[in-house]
């Protein structure tokens, strides 16, 4: 019997998709990022359905499952290892389509759209994507073109030599990817402040440079891991992604 990972890889190869191209389906409204993750879908009857995540984005998921799901039915989506004591409500999604690719044998491919009608629902999905799926706000994956939803976010990175002003390429609870005109050495300790598009309060944290790559434009894409960020500032990220979802929902 094929394992989930083997099924997903076979599906990608049959579709001519690489890891960073798996999201380019024409029906999509937003960029998706390829992920491998075991999920559970809870039906309205209470039945638990095992799901293998293929890719995800701010509008929905694509999964593999051996359970027959009906178009239009709703599932509550939770990670397989989600603690029962978690206070954050899980997101709800609607089955938009199902199909049976020959490459997956008995496993069906299912497209799920998040329910994003209210601020509370968007917050649930934002928390799920940022903390469970580990995606970023601007670009779910650094390899692909970055959707500039809500405009470019400015940032200030302060090193022992002084402050540098740059542009945020992506941001997530664990860190930020910024473009700077000046390089910063790996393992350098910095302070970073990001102007989020959702309000006047910037996100601030101490950080550690984990990677720096020179771009064809002679700039530097610098990845900074947050080393100390207050819970209140993590909440700012949740609010920011919720706003991105509202813009995506109203624009389509």
Q: Are residues 104 and 168 located together in one domain of the fold?
A: no
- Helices 119-127, 231-251: inter-axial angle, 10-degree rounding: 120
Q: Say if 70 falls within a structural domain.
A: yes
What percentage of the chain exceeds 90 in pLDDT? Answer: 38
Higher pLDDT, 61 or 198: 61
12 and 128 in a single domain? The answer is: yes
Tell me the whole-structure pTM to 2 decimals: 0.66
**What distance in Å separates the CA atoms of residue 116 and residue 167, rounded to the nearest whole number?**
28
Mean of the pLDDT values across residues 116-141? Answer: 78
Please check whether residues 126 and 162 belong to one and the same domain.
Answer: no
Q: What is the pLDDT of residues 189-231, one digit of tens each?
A: 999 999 887 766 888 999 999 999 999 999 999 999 999 877 7
69 and 117 both lie in a single domain: yes
In terms of domains, do 116 and 183 share one? no
Report if residue 184 sits inside a domain.
Answer: yes
Q: Residue 235's CB: how many other CB atoms inside 10 A?
A: 13
- The verdict on 118 and 46 lying in the same domain is yes
pLDDT of 95 reads 97
| Residue 175 and residue 55 share a domain | no
Neighbour-count burial of 240, counting CB atoms closer than 10 A to its CB (0-12 exposed, 13-18 middle, 19+ buried): buried
User: pLDDT tens across 168-196, in order?
Assistant: 988 887 888 999 999 999 999 999 999 88
Examine the pLDDT at 1 and tell me if it is beyond 80: no
Domain end among 132, 161, 194 = 132
pLDDT digits (tens, 9 = 90+) for 8-47: 444 444 434 333 333 333 344 444 555 567 899 999 999 9
Would you place residue 155 in the very low, low, confident or very high pLDDT band (cuts 50, 70, 90)? very high
CA 249 remoteness from chain centre: 16
Average pLDDT over residues 134-147: 50
Count CB atoms within 10 A of the CB of residue 227: 12
Q: Range of 161's domain?
A: 153-251
């Amino acid at each position: 019997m094929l394992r989930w990972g083997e099924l997903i890889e076979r599906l990608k190869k049959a579709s001519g998709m690489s890891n960073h191209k798996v999201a380019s389906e024409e029906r999509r409204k937003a960029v998706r990022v390829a992920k491998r993750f075991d999920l559970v879908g809870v039906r309205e009857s209470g039945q638990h359905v095992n799901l293998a995540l293929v890719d995800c984005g701010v509008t929905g998921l694509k999964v593999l499952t051996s359970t027959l799901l009906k178009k239009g039915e709703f599932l509550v989506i939770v990670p397989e290892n989600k603690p029962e004591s978690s206070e954050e409500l899980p997101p709800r999604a609607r089955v938009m389509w199902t199909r049976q690719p020959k490459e997956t044998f008995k496993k069906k491919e299912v497209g799920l759209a998040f329910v994003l009608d209210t601020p509370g629902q968007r917050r649930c999905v934002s928390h799920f994507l940022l903390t469970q799926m580990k995606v970023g706000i601007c670009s779910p994956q650094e390899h692909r073109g970055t959707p500039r939803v809500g405009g470019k976010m400015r940032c200030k990175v302060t090193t022992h030599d002084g402050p540098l002003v740059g542009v945020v390429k992506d941001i997530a609870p664990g860190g930020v990817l910024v473009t700077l005109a000046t390089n910063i050495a790996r393992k350098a300790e910095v302070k970073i402040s990001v102007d989020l598009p959702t309000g006047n309060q910037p996100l601030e944290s101490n950080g550690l440079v984990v990677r720096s790559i020179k771009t064809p434009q002679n700039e530097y894409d610098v990845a900074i891991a947050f080393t100390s960020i207050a819970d209140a500032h993590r909440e700012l990220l949740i609010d920011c992604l919720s706003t991105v979802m509202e813009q995506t929902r109203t624009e389509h």
